[in-house]
Structure 1
Amino acid sequence: MRVRRFLLALLLAAWTALAVAQALPPKPGPKPGPKDLCPVCGMLVSKYSNWVATIVYKDGHVHHFDGAKDMFKFWFDPAKYAAGHKREDMAVIWVTDFYNLQRMDARKAWYVTGSDVLGPMGHEFVPLASKEDAADFLKEHKGRKVLTFDQVTKDLPTNLDDGRF
């Protein structure tokens, strides 16, 4: 009887640990090193730590970007910038929140466009952790629009390059 209870308790503990591990957000991948280049524009990414975006692949491969705008360009056409790389092989995508400078899941971020805040490559998708932060940023920095990850379309990053919001 004791063995049965012990095994049941052990099984319950393992199941609980697995459930907790699956509920936690994935850990951000490595930070860019001093020689890591953005695959889209070729800039040294580590020089712009407040803007870093990162894509981590299922096999552990990592691409760092000097901002969300270049990350989105890559997202829409990875093979153009890195032969053999596909969107379906991407495990997680990180962006840097503008206010707290912490990396966060890019799919959960809110992005402001058309503001008076410029990134390393000019007009940028400014990532923010909450809808409220995005609304405040929009007002404070004369932004034009707030978007979710899924609302960013393939043409928007190029439009930002051209100053079209």
Structure 2
Amino acid sequence: MKKFLMMIAIAGALFGAKMEIPKDATCLIRHTKVYQTAEWAATIQVRSGEIIYFSSPKSMFEFYFEPSRWPEYQVKQNDDMRINVTDYETLEKIPAREAFYVYGSQKTSSSGDDLPAFSSKERAEKFAQKYEGRRVLDFSQVSNGLINLLNNRLR
């Protein structure tokens, strides 16, 4: 019985955990307080162990696609990053590479058009239907070009 309760406690810690955001955490890209819009929050933990906070998935992807713009974090390759996003509805922390993102919905973050994240494709599709989202994307389908489009920086 004791072993069973310990397994439940561990499972609860791994699944369903809320994204922890310190009150003083500021978005690296937008320089805003991240806790104020917790449903959009994202983090990247770099090889040194330092955690970088972002006010939205869009901001996180800006760093992910061009980490050399911030040499102080010494990210040489994408494997140097442990990335998490917040499930938009449940506020649970989910691995960004396993999340689904809604493009083109009526919901916008503090930085404008963005990509609300979800832990399941079905929930992302329901959200997209409700808020007129254009597409549901997995992590590999989000490109630097899309992030530039969302930021109105077409090249």
Partner of 2:124: 134
Corresponding letter in the other structure for 1:33: P
| Equivalent residues of 1:29, 1:54 under 8 A apart | no
Report how far residue 52 of structure 1 moved. 0.7
How many corresponding residue pairs?
141
Aligned CA RMSD, in angstroms, stands at: 2.6
Which of 67, 77, 90 aligns to 2:66? It is 77
| Equivalent residues of 1:40, 1:81 under 8 A apart | no
Partner of 1:10: none
3-state DSSP of counterpart to 2:72: coil
Which of 79, 87, 100 aligns to 1:88? It is 79
Corresponding letter in the other structure for 1:74: F
Mark the CA change 1:26 to 1:59 in structure 2 (over 3 Å): closer, same or farther.
Answer: farther
Report how far residue 45 of structure 1 moved. 1.3
Q: How does 1:47-58 map to 2 (within 5 A)?
A: 47-58=36-47
Partner of 1:121: 111
| Equivalent residues of 1:53, 1:66 under 8 A apart | yes
Partner of 1:37: 26
**Which TM-score applies when normalising by structure 2?**
0.80
3-state DSSP of counterpart to 2:144: coil
Partner Cα distance (2:47, 2:16) in 1: 13
3-state DSSP of counterpart to 1:50: helix
Mark the CA change 1:160 to 1:133 in structure 2 (over 3 Å): closer, same or farther.
Answer: same
Report how far residue 57 of structure 1 moved. 2.1
Rg (Cα) greater in structure: 1
Mark the CA change 1:89 to 1:134 in structure 2 (over 3 Å): closer, same or farther.
Answer: same
Partner of 1:154: 144
Identify which of structures 1 and 2 has the higher relative contact order when contacts are C-alpha pairs closer than 8 Å and 6+ apart.
2
Partner of 2:53: 64
For structure 1, which runs of at least 5 residues remain unmatched after alignment? 1-20
